[in-house]
Structures are given as structure tokens and as C-alpha cells.
Amino acid sequence: MKILALETSCDETSAAVVKDGNEVLSNVVASQVEFHRKYGGIVPEIASRKHIEVINPIIKEALEKANASFEDIDAVAVTYGPGLVGSLLVGICAAKAISWSLDKPLIGVNHLEGHIYANFLAHQNSNNQIPITKQFPNSKSQNPKFPFVCLIVSGGHTLLVLVKDHGKYQTLGHTRDDAAGEAFDKVARFLNLGYPGGPIIDKLAKEGNPRAVDFTRPMLEGYDFSFSGIKTAVVNLILKTENRKPKTEDLVASFQQAVVDVLVEKTIRAAKEYGGLSIALAGGVAANSLLRNQLKEKAKDEKLKVFIPPLAYCTDNAAMIGAAAFFKYQRKDFSDFSLSPLASASI
């Protein structure tokens, strides 16, 4: 079965056609980053207007790339939250219109749930390319087995979730202040490195010494996180040291190392405490090379299995929404036309 999925929760307009919950026939993503860059962050009003401009061409392109027409679609999925209300509204209205006119089920998907399901998409091309089409015979066996632990790290969220079954989640911990991606973006903005900060810091850190500055790793009790302290420590270091301040490369490498140490330690600890569970990584910060490598290494030491989606499925995309929607379809968990944006939806 084929699901047309839409994702417009933030600043990416994305449409995808996903077959049987794991085969990506197309996944088109239009980034608005150029329009927001000069403001150093996302301007919600600009985001929703840009979604309106491109949503129809993006849907058309996704269908064309999937070699499908509207008639081939069995259900329409869309992100309903969390996210920016104006942005979410554009995707929801488009999805409702398509569902209504085709008389096919509408499936509202939680954005965070979508991120988790990026781990269920066929990993046919781990070369960081968008894996498009073609049956991948072993893909189903590559899915994480329930229960597993999922670390969701994005610009808006940082949480550790125990995924018990399809649609059954228990949040073990979450950030008490900044999300990990938010901390990357804010540090980069303070250092005038550009926007979004995550990928820029990731790249620059490769030229720096991660041990140059020993930032305190905030290990709150349990599985909660806190990143604003590390961010403030970076700012204070710059403001207070003037001529003696460390090289930017060293600073960002040390900052990144501190954030990743906390993320990896808590995730591994959770996987062990819950009985040696597999670990899945999700969200935009899952694109971070240090996080990916360190998590893989530490998990290997502990003999834990790790699932990491290809880069294109870590940052916001509609394919992950299509994957989550497939399992909701099987449970007949459909939405009606009262589906509305939920800015702070949780899972």
C-alpha cells in the first residue's frame, strides 16, 4: 500500500510516497533555510507563507518521482504537531483536501513519532544519500525489535523514549531547558558562525581539539537533560577571556564533545538498565557525526545494537511520517477532519 505523507511542522516543506511503511518511493524536501538565515533562526510567519508557496509543487514532484498518481494513493498522512501552528496548518489543510477529494483515510502523525519511525525505513543506502525506491529484501529484519530505547534529538526536542510497541511510548527523560539542537544553534549564533548551527559546528569541530576546554557535563538525576548550562559556559568563556579566548575550532569541538558525552552516556545507561535493549537514534541532531560515531562505539563496547537512520531521514522529512502512518493505518488509527495543529503535542 502507498501512503502520501506531508511534513510542514517547521521550516521544511516535505512530501513523500512510502510503500508498506518502509520503502521510500520518493521523499522531496524543500528547505527554507535561506529565508531564515539572515534572522539567525526561524521566523514563523515567513515559514508558513513559504509552505503555502511550495506545498502543491512539492506534492506533485513527490508523486512524479514515485511514478504514482493521486489514484494510486491508499491514505494521506500529515504531521499535526508538535511544531509551529501556522506551518502545521498548511500541511494539515493540504492533507485534508487530498483525503476528502480522494475519499481515502487521513492519518495525523505526531512529529516525534515520525522521527522514531525513520528507523523503520529501509536502510538500503547508508551512504548518506536519499535512498529512493527499489525493493530491499532484508529491510524488515533491519528494523529495531521492541522494546527499544530511542534518543530523539532535534532543534525543538531532546528526549529519551522507551518504545514498547508500535504506538506505545514511555518517555524516560527530556530536556529541562534547551533542546540539544537549540544549544548548537545558539552557540553558533553567538559565535557568528551562521545558521543552522548544528551542521556548521559539526564540520568546524573536526578541526578542533575536543579536550581544549573542559565543560562540565550536566548529569541530572534519571534521564533528564540540561544543555543551557553548557551553552552559557561557552558564552561566558568568550565574554570573560577576551584576548586569551580559545580558538573557535577548539571551543566548538569541546562544546560538541560535552553535549555528545551526556547524550551518549544517558542513552547507553537507559538501554542497559532496561535489560540490554537496542538503541535507535532520531531527529536532526542524529546527523551529528560525533554523536553517531560515539554512540556506535560505546554501544559496541556494551554489546548493544544501534540503529541510526541515513542522514536524509534524520532531519525533518515526510518519509518518516509515511512510515509511522503505515502502522497507524494497520491499527485503523485514522483522523477525522477535525484534525488541527497541536503546537506542543507529546508522545
Binding site for Zn ion (CB under 5 A): 154, 316
Nearer to ligand KG4 (CB atom), residue 62 or residue 252: 252
Spatial separation of the C-alpha atoms in residues 21 and 3, rounded to whole Å? 8
Residues contacting residue 323 through CB under 8 Å, at least 6 positions apart = 18, 21, 22, 114, 117, 118, 120, 121
Write out the three cell numbers for 74: 491508499
State in angstroms the smallest separation of the CB of 280 from Zn ion: 15
State in angstroms the smallest separation of the CB of 90 from ligand KG4: 16
Choices 13-21, 56-64, 278-286, 299-307 (CB under 6 A): range interacting with ligand KG4: 278-286
Scored b (16 or more CB within 10 A) or e, 52-69 reads bebbeebbeebbebbebe
Do the Cβ atoms of 140 and 22 come closer than 8 Å? yes
Our measurement of the distance from residue 29's CA atom to the centroid of its chain's CA atoms, rounded to an integer in Å, reads 13
When asked if residue 77 is in the footprint of ligand KG4 (CB under 6 A), the reply is: no
The single residue among 155, 309, 322, 341 that binds ligand KG4, judged by CB under 6 A, is: 155
Write out the three cell numbers for 37: 538565515
The single residue among 79, 87, 143, 154 that binds ligand KG4, judged by CB under 6 A, is: 154
Q: What is the contact mask toward ligand KG4 in residues 310 to 339, using x (rule: CB under 6 A)?
A: -----xx-----------------------
State in angstroms the smallest separation of the CB of 156 from Zn ion: 7
When asked if residue 197 is in the footprint of ligand KG4 (CB under 6 A), the reply is: yes
**Closest Cα to residue 286, out of 321, 260, 322, 254?**
260
The single residue among 113, 185, 224, 250 that binds ligand KG4, judged by CB under 6 A, is: 185
Residues contacting residue 145 through CB under 8 Å, at least 6 positions apart = 278
Q: Which residue of the chain is nearest Zn ion when measured via CB?
A: 154
When asked if residue 81 is in the footprint of ligand KG4 (CB under 6 A), the reply is: no
DSSP helix/strand/coil, 244? helix
Nearer to Zn ion (CB atom), residue 4 or residue 116: 116
State in angstroms the smallest separation of the CB of 47 from ligand KG4: 12
**Edge-to-edge strands, sheet with 168-174:** 168-174, 158-165, 148-153, 278-282, 306-307
Interface residues toward ligand KG4, by CB under 6 A:
10, 154-156, 181, 184-185, 196-199, 202, 283-285, 287-288, 315-316
